Structure 1
Amino acid sequence: MKYTILIILFFLVISFRPWNFFTKEIQVEKDSIPQDTLAVAVHDLFTNEYSDLIETKRLDQTIERFMDQWEIKGASLAIMKDGKLIYSKGYGYADEENEVKTDVNHIFRIASVSKLITAAGIMKLVENGTLSLDDKVFGEEGILNDTTLYAPVKDKRMNHITVENLLRHQGGFTNRAGDPMFCPIDIAEKMNVPAPADLNTIIKFVLSRRLGFTPGTSTCYSNVGYGILSKVIEKISGKNYEEFIQDSILIPAGCYDMHLAHNLDKDRYFNEVKYYEQSDADLIRSCDGRDTLVYRSNGGNNIEALYGAGGWVASPTELLRFLSAIDANDSYPDILTKESVEIMTKCVKNALPLGWMNTNNQGDWWRSGTLAGTSAMLKRQRDGFCWAFITNTSNWTGPRFPHKIEGMMARAMDRVKEWPDRNLFDPDYCKAFEDGKKLLANEKGVQAHPVHPDNI
């Protein structure tokens, strides 16, 4: 009966979205900082102290040494085993200047891990029967056939680009002249529009150039391809990209604190970390075209134009919740069918998987992402462990840094001899944890140290 009532209340909350009624009030209290954070985020149930365990001290030490080595200001880690969240903890500073320590409730830019979210959105439309992976994207019969936005097309081969071509980075786009998603001023000038160039302008620009290869015949990693997929989602669903993803993917997966990012530090969400770059990072011209030199992570890059290519913010905990909903594992209800998950993770010769960066037949899947100011890594391992690690600091190694994160995590996890048997996704566990703290506090008359509820 208790669980039936909880389930009914959950669906009532999702249906009526009470957070919409108090968003305005919160914005006033937070000096007008964007407040799209919803009321019932998973990590609101617990804090760092839940993972302040004797068993994981050596893991913590490995991570802290790694952060010192690479001068990382702040980071956050979540670990899941067989669908259960067993560890979640923040390290260092979310905002060093204001001495704000990183906790599990902080959200970060996740860069290209966003592509996995976009791919899930595309597969949901395929399941709904409103889209096919073979559908053409451009041309008279294409999905994006608005001639005012997406014409003229320079290379007729573009009319043969399919949805699957874009998902697998086989659309024919290359970065020989630079990644168009990171050239907001140059493209704005060439297209005779105010800077920064928005996503529609960027797409129109690449359509006015020739392709690097015939679609489907080769593979070249393409951010603009996933930008185009964001517009495909909008056209087919009739909703803006962020709204569709939240309503159809994230909220059904139990993720309530994932949003599209903003360009400037002053526009961060109230629980979003501050971003830092390496000590010798160059300043560049502001993406809005002003003659002002800024850091890439704070106005240099037009993050708001990335959309599904790299625009999301999230916590590691909610990334694992999302992963648990697209893994075809029975331990947590999936938002996609097993057939869709198999399509996304299938190994195809000379092509990338859908959304993921790499998969293999043994069950290892991973997705990385880097931007100025952040590095992110999400991995599902064949041994049942899944983990997400995100930093708020970049370094000179750029897109190679997630591989260093992967090596560090292998060493850190190997130092844990016995993992706690628990599930931080379970509200009952969190309640038992808090009850245990209160019990010890009453007995000792002092603030209780975090304890494992099984030991109470």
Structure 2
Amino acid sequence: MDYIRKHKEVIWLLAIVVISALCIRMWGIGRSTATGAHNKTEQPAPTPLNHLITNSMSDSVQTRKFDAAIGRFMRYWGIKGGSFALMRNDSLIYAKGYGYANIEDSTACEVKHIFRIASVSKLITAVAVMRLCESGKITPQSQVFGVDGILNDSIFLNCRDKKISKVTVEHLLRHKGGFANPHGDAAFNRDLVARYLDKELPLSMDDMVEYATKIRLRARPGEWFDYSNLGYIVLSKVIEKVSGMPYHKYVKDSVLAPIGCHDIHLAENYCCGFRENEVSYYEVKEAEPVPSYDGCDSLVMKSLGGNDVHGLYGAGGWVASPVELAKLVAAINTHPGRESFLSQESIEFMTPLGKYERPAGWSSITSREWHRTGSMSGTSAMVKVYKTKGGSAPDGYDHYCWVFISNSSSWNGPQLSRQMNRSITRAMERVKEWPKVDLFELEQYAYNQQAERERLGESDTRISPVPYDIASDIAVWYDTKTPMMNGTQYSFSDNRIIEGNSK
């Protein structure tokens, strides 16, 4: 019996030892995991392209007349600050800011600054819709309203005009939804819309879509072109419903990030919510304060809370820099031998040629030029794509795209884009030869630098010079004898280009 009792004691002792060892092991694993999770550093977000480029990189004797012409154009039209980017055959060859990003503190406008882009936002929205079409989740012919439509939520089913059930995604893209404006442009007259719906301000995206179902259509869907901000707000809701994500998140995650646009954001209405490097906005001197968009009793300028810019969503709610908008265009504008973010079929759908055809996302299309304009209180923007004969591209053309955005309204209002196109086209004719460089390469170099630092586990992000081939190319253009840019060596520090001391 003593033997059996002792044997049991040994077994219990061994069990206790084993259990204790397992507990210690599990505690160690848990502690190690927790420590690893604590020590693990998040992958840094890619540095936006507009943060890597400075005005000085596009300084040259050859472009002084161009810069002077842009300055005269801005002074004549009362534009406080602006930014310009130029691509040739999908290479970024020129980028510069002009005037002031903020007059009050004398902040000069640089390439890094971002602006409200007004209706240029519709181009971003159209690309997002086409991406959903390519994924097979919807088609351009998908019905939007009604029980069998995309927006078949209960709040959207009590439609005043039964014709609205015929509205398709394509109709909205091409401004052929048939929407009327009984209360003016609903996007900018939300107080009237709120009273019509018997709701309080501020209005949500759902409120605006519900309003679209409560008014009579001006025409049968597909029969009449009538420019409609409301239609693109409805498209924003379509994107939300189909993707299962907030509009801005789907666009950023599924469109902008894959293209490499990391500093394009949905706008905020008040300056306290402005993004880093976002400019200040200026209206014409005759402009008067209006009631704030959110129903508060305060009076504000339209560009500083009077308009619900954020609530424009896909109709006009984004902020961006010209260089990243140019990058977006490069991704959706196929040239011979170039890959595109969208299929050729989608691009042709967006840019049809024909007297009675309307583009999707773009303002106007011809066989040689594509335009997208945008304007509202405090901003004016334009994107122009065109080609010239005798170029170096495989099709025998040179393919150009330029983007100009300002932080000011003009007394000429929406017509400013026409003057902008004319003035910039004439200014470009003053340049005999543009740089044979590609500032997009700086972004790839920054990515490679960061990846190398991570591979080596370096915590020290000391200056690493721009590779000689890029600097040398620019130096040759500037007619200098050293790999410098106007006497300044550009280097990366913390994954950015900074100004260093020239040697």
Give the TM-score, by structure 2 length: 0.78
Pairwise CA distance, 1:376: 0.2
2:251 aligned partner: 245
Instruction: Rate the CA distance shift 1:272–1:17 in 2: closer, same or farther, 3 A.
Output: farther
Structure 1 residue matching 2:92: 3-state secondary structure: strand
Equivalent pair of 2:204/2:311 in contact (CA under 8 Å): yes
Structure 1 residue matching 2:237: 3-state secondary structure: helix
Structure ID, larger Rg: 2
Structure 2 residue matching 1:308: 3-state secondary structure: helix
2:271 aligned partner: 265
Distance 1:17 1:341 in 2: 36
1:408 aligned partner: 423
1:334 aligned partner: 340
Distance 2:338 2:49 in 1: 14
Distance 2:337 2:274 in 1: 34
Instruction: Rate the CA distance shift 1:238–1:214 in 2: closer, same or farther, 3 A.
Output: same
Distance 2:203 2:328 in 1: 31
Matching of residues 196-275 of structure 1 within 5 Å: 196-275=202-281
Distance 2:90 2:376 in 1: 29
| Identical aligned residues as a percent | 42
Equivalent pair of 2:77/2:411 in contact (CA under 8 Å): no
Q: Does 1:371 align with 2:396?
A: no
Pairwise CA distance, 1:279: 0.9
Matching of residues 39-188 of structure 1 within 5 Å: 39-148=46-155, 150-188=156-194
1:33 aligned partner: none
Distance 1:248 1:328 in 2: 19
Q: Does 1:318 align with 2:324?
A: yes
Pairwise CA distance, 1:450: 5.0
Pairwise CA distance, 1:329: 2.1
2:367 aligned partner: 361
Instruction: Rate the CA distance shift 1:177–1:430 in 2: closer, same or farther, 3 A.
Output: farther
1:449 aligned partner: 487
Query: Deviations along 1:237-276, whole A, 9 cap, x unmatched?
Result: 1111111111111111111110100001121101100100
Q: Which runs of 5 or more residues in structure 1 are unaligned?
A: 1-15, 20-37
Equivalent pair of 1:174/1:221 in contact (CA under 8 Å): no
Distance 1:43 1:341 in 2: 26
Equivalent pair of 1:172/1:216 in contact (CA under 8 Å): yes
Pairwise CA distance, 1:330: 5.0
Equivalent pair of 1:43/1:317 in contact (CA under 8 Å): yes
Pairwise CA distance, 1:451: 8.4
Distance 2:279 2:466 in 1: 25
Query: Deviations along 1:57-86, whole A, 9 cap, x unmatched?
Result: 000000000111111110000000011100
Structure 1 residue matching 2:383: 3-state secondary structure: strand
Comparing 178-187 with 112-121, greater Cα deviation is found at: 178-187
Distance 1:301 1:219 in 2: 25
Distance 2:310 2:104 in 1: 25
Distance 2:187 2:486 in 1: 50
Distance 2:441 2:471 in 1: 15
Distance 1:285 1:434 in 2: 51
Q: Does 1:387 align with 2:402?
A: yes
Comparing 85-94 with 285-294, greater Cα deviation is found at: 285-294
- Superposition CA RMSD, Å: 2.5
Structure 2 residue matching 1:329: 3-state secondary structure: coil
Pairwise CA distance, 1:209: 1.1
2:33 aligned partner: none
Distance 2:486 2:232 in 1: 49
2:414 aligned partner: 399
Distance 1:94 1:105 in 2: 10
Amino acid at match of 1:96: I
Equivalent pair of 2:183/2:193 in contact (CA under 8 Å): no
2:459 aligned partner: none
Pairwise CA distance, 1:183: 1.5
Query: Deviations along 1:87-123, whole A, 9 cap, x unmatched?
Result: 0000011011011111001000000000011111111
2:439 aligned partner: 424
Instruction: Rate the CA distance shift 1:208–1:447 in 2: closer, same or farther, 3 A.
Output: closer
Structure 1 residue matching 2:381: 3-state secondary structure: strand
Distance 1:41 1:89 in 2: 16
Instruction: Rate the CA distance shift 1:270–1:332 in 2: closer, same or farther, 3 A.
Output: farther
Distance 2:144 2:212 in 1: 14
Q: How many residue pairs end up in the alignment?
A: 414
Instruction: Rate the CA distance shift 1:257–1:447 in 2: closer, same or farther, 3 A.
Output: closer
Amino acid at match of 2:409: S
> Which of 278, 281, 295 in structure 1 is aligned with 2:284?
278
Give the TM-score, by structure 1 length: 0.86
